[in-house]
Amino acid sequence: MTDTSPNMQPEDTCCADLYQSPLVRYLLGESLHPGGLALTRALGKELGLTKGQYLLDVACGRGASAIMLAQTYKCRVAGIDTDARALEGATKDARRYRLDSLVAFVEGDATHLPFPPAVFDAVLCECATSLFSNRQAALGEIARVLKPSGRLALSDVTFRPETLPLPLDSSIARALCIPLGTGPEQYVHLIQGAGLTIEGKADYSNTVEKLLDKAESLLGIGRRTALATKANDQQLDQIAVALNCASELARQGDLGYWTFVAGKP
């Protein structure tokens, strides 16, 4: 699989403005992936994090995972993202939790990580690779900055169909980062292509249904949603149809969420 495939969504289909939009933040919360912090906690365990280790969170968004893992394991965490506004919020949160001595956020692109080789004990990358302009290059960068014997934990959306159904052509659907024609085997291929060894993979597709159910019920609150998100009725209707369509795809097994743990030899 190459990232020049016409099926890959271009970088700008899922932009920073989308994640900062009141509607997306209202529906998805601060932890911008299915499974939320509970799934991040499971990945932290798989990474075997310990006090003082160096962890990199690639595409850290609002920093919820980075902050929680620093708090839990007392490890040192660098979060990197292209979204300067998300990083501003993340930095404020780290300060609020008095974790700013352990956590730092840097603006940068996953395909050009601004770190020397072999400096991190572990790398986390949640729900983001489909947004990268070149996923193989980003995985190569992750492998480069990992120390030998270091580990990667990656979680991401799977979507088997090669085309997007019409109702899903909306901003909330784009926020779900749907990677056309991508099953778990493609992620395995990408990770192995970066020279990493797969140590485990797990199907967490049930978390997609839960996330969609939560978003659908929040949307059902109607007037309160409109007030909280400044969205109009037409936008809310469009999102409701998109969420319904996504739920159907998740029930059919076409839309899912998987985790992968890999080691650097």
Cα–Cα distance for residue pair 67/76, rounded to 1 Å? 10
**Which CB, 108 or 226, lies closer to ligand SAM?**
108
Nearest-CA neighbor of 73 among 56, 91, 94, 52? 52
Rounded to the nearest whole angstrom, what is the least distance from the CB of residue 82 to ligand SAM in the complex? 4
Rounded to the nearest whole angstrom, what is the least distance from the CB of residue 223 to ligand SAM in the complex? 28
**Which CB, 3 or 81, lies closer to ligand SAM?**
81
Distance of CA 263 to CAs 1, 46, 74, Å?
A: 21, 11, 22
The residues of the shown chain that bind ligand SAM, judged by CB under 6 A, are: 16, 19, 31-33, 59-61, 64-65, 81-83, 86, 109-111, 126-128, 131-132, 177
**Which CB, 170 or 226, lies closer to ligand SAM?**
170
**Which CB, 60 or 245, lies closer to ligand SAM?**
60
Contacts of 205 (CB under 8 A, 6+ apart): 158, 250, 253, 255, 256, 257, 258
Rounded to the nearest whole angstrom, what is the least distance from the CB of residue 262 to ligand SAM in the complex? 17
Write out the two tokens for 235.
């936008």
Amino acid, single-letter form, for residue 113: L
**Which CB, 59 or 178, lies closer to ligand SAM?**
59
Cα–Cα distance for residue pair 107/86, rounded to 1 Å? 10
Rounded to the nearest whole angstrom, what is the least distance from the CB of residue 38 to ligand SAM in the complex? 12
Helices and strands: H and E segment counts in the chain: 11, 7
Determine the residue with CB nearest ligand SAM.
61
Amino acid, single-letter form, for residue 255: L
Nearest-CA neighbor of 155 among 4, 36, 51? 36
Rounded to the nearest whole angstrom, what is the least distance from the CB of residue 265 to ligand SAM in the complex? 25
Strand 54-58 and strand 120-126: pairing?
parallel
Rounded to the nearest whole angstrom, what is the least distance from the CB of residue 23 to ligand SAM in the complex? 15
User: 206-220 and 233-252 are packed helices; what angle lies between their axes, rounded to 10 degrees?
Assistant: 160
**Which CB, 51 or 127, lies closer to ligand SAM?**
127
Rounded to the nearest whole angstrom, what is the least distance from the CB of residue 79 to ligand SAM in the complex? 9
Tokens 């369509």 map to which residue? 245
Cβ-contact 138, 111 below 8 angstroms: yes
**Which CB, 87 or 245, lies closer to ligand SAM?**
87
